Structure 1
């Protein structure tokens, strides 16, 4: 006869076993917020609370899929802006060769380009702060 080993489930942990329990109460609004985060991030409520409390308090728990999707959109928009700037510069060079480039057009282009550079610098600073918040 074959001797079958009795199955007792998962082996007992000797180290790292969680034996302490904390009972916490939340308002309906707080609980809904936690449940929403649980669904968005794909982690359990327990793991979410554990991450928020035990990890570095400055780190932020984020939905990486949503972040990547939004950053992809920002990158695409920056590409379109760069394309527009190149088209405007080409058009300005053609007008300059024809002697039809107005100083007013040059002034307006320079103002818009300076504004674009400020927006790009703000975006770079925001991306750096996101990276720092993620703890990378």
Structure 2
């Protein structure tokens, strides 16, 4: 049933755009934006901030490439990416609570907008891969 769900052209385009966004974010994690990403790692996490940034960059790279190229498992990839967005949300909350400046987010309003955008990314991952439709059909 997973493979038989139809996807619209808009879904395909937005899935590829999101995958490309994730690949670009991964490149930033692993290279020129490492310090910016380290600023978002919550202090309570019992791992090196650099290790967290590197590992999350690798996960982003795998998920981004999977969003673009792994046609057979798009729904599962969409669910995995949505879960990833949920798991990194505490970093965004920490940036807001600690008033940490990173990525040009240098005001509480800017950091709050980012917090509000995270559910959009979750929805985007689920909808663009057909996972949202799959989850609703599965419940019926």
Q: TM-score, normalised by structure 1?
A: 0.32
**Structure having the larger proportion of residues in helix:** 2
Work out which of the two has the higher radius of gyration on C-alpha atoms and give 1 or 2: 1
